[in-house]
Amino acid sequence: MDAFIQYTAQGLAAGGFYALAALGLAVIFGALNVVNFAHGAFYMLGAVLTAVLLDVAGINFWVALVLVPVILFGFGIIIERLLVQWLLGLDNLYSFLLTFGISLVLVDVIKIRYGVSGLPYGQPPGLEGLIRIGAVQLPVYQVFVFVFSVLVCLGVWLLLAKTRVGVIVRAATEEPERARALGINVGLWVTPVFGFGVALAGIAGVLAAPFRAITATMGSSFIIILFAIVVIGGLGSILGSVVAGFLVGLVEAYGQGYASTFSQIIIFVLMAVVILVRPAGLFGRKESA
């Protein structure tokens, strides 16, 4: 029983991180109908940038947690203006192919510049050690990642659901013609939403730096799990991706605990079952299936 409780705690901790990492994917799809396959590469850029900023400029984890998302927000804006905007009106297969291409380019650029074996990054100051509560024992850093991720997810939900900015963004992306008729400059809102999604990937990248290998390919396998999460949650649903993030974290932890070799397969079995039973995902709208 102790083991089960420990696995549950670890699953929830991992789930929080998954939810945050998948959030940007859900935001960009929900708002722009763009299947952003470069999300994993943006996540990788976030982690690489964190390590490089420390190495080159001595910028620590806490500053990077603010600075890296800002840089990636700008980078996302450039990518959207230069490339993504031209495909927005088309079938989302086009943007999928475009972003897939972008991710290949980004991964190779990082490989050429920084090699393949990865960059060093230690524990952030103030987050070393362990927390013990009864039978459960978790690294302080994992607890921090969990709390921080939940706060960011909550903040994003509040921003989109409860604020005037959120209402405008949703109007501009869901009903662009009517929004224009009401005097909203739709083009002005689409670009920052993409940048915002990329910045969220950047935050996940910063959080990953202390506990994941920082390599050019670190996002390439991770993106597969993230897609499983947004599909389970319902493409474009923010609540869905958060719930599915936790679900996948738990399923993975129980898999590792009780059926180790199958711990990743189980995630995709879960995805297949969800698609069979609810093709739009747990929280998806029918038309986005």
Partner 1 sequence: MKSRTVPMIAVTFVSAAMLAGCAGGPPAQDGSALSDGKVVIGILNDQSGVYRDLSGPNSRVAVELAIADYEAKYGDEAVATDIEIITSDHQNKPDVANTQAQQMYDRRGADIILDVPTSSAALAVAEVAAAKKRLFIDVGAATMELTGAACNPYTFHWAYNTEMLAKGASGVVDNGGESWVIIYPDYAFGQGMNASFTASIEGAGGTVLESIATPFPNDNFSTFITRAAAQNPDVIGIMAAGGDLINFVKQYNQAGMQDQAALAVGLMFITDINSLGVEEFQGTTFTDAWYWDYDEQNREFADRFLQLTDARPTFAHAGNYSAAFQYLEAIQRAGTDDADAVIAELEGAKLEDLFLRNGEVRSDHSVVHDSYVARVKPAADVAEAWDYEEIISTIPAEEAFSPVNSACTM
Interface with partner 1 (CB under 8 A)? 3, 6-7, 10-11, 13-14, 86-90, 108, 111, 115-123, 129-130, 137, 139, 141-142, 177, 210-213, 215, 217-218, 221-222, 225, 252-253, 256-257, 260-265
Q: Is residue 201 helix, strand or coil?
A: helix
Residue environment code for 136-167, b if the CB has 16+ CB neighbours within 10 A, otherwise e: eebbebbbbbbebbbebbeebeeebeeeeeee
Question: Smallest gap, in angstroms, from Cβ of residue 225 to partner 1?
Answer: 8
- Which CB sits closer to partner 1, 91 or 287? 91
Q: What is the Cα gyration radius of the chain?
A: 19
Question: Smallest gap, in angstroms, from Cβ of residue 212 to partner 1?
Answer: 6
In the block, residue with structure tokens 């991770």: 222
- Which CB sits closer to partner 1, 55 or 158? 55
- Which CB sits closer to partner 1, 156 or 193? 193
- Our measurement of the distance from residue 6's CA atom to the centroid of its chain's CA atoms, rounded to an integer in Å, reads 25
- Which CB sits closer to partner 1, 32 or 280? 32
CA atoms within 13 A on the CB side of 210: 21
Residue 226 token pair: 């993230």
Cβ neighbours, 10 Å, residue 227:
18
- Which CB sits closer to partner 1, 10 or 103? 10
- Which CB sits closer to partner 1, 230 or 280? 230
Question: Smallest gap, in angstroms, from Cβ of residue 278 to partner 1?
Answer: 26
Question: Smallest gap, in angstroms, from Cβ of residue 34 to partner 1?
Answer: 14
Question: Smallest gap, in angstroms, from Cβ of residue 242 to partner 1?
Answer: 18
Asked if residues 162 and 32 have their Cβ atoms less than 8 Å apart, the reply is: no
Question: Smallest gap, in angstroms, from Cβ of residue 137 to partner 1?
Answer: 8
Please state, in angstroms and rounded to a whole number, the distance separating the CA atoms of residues 145 and 244.
17
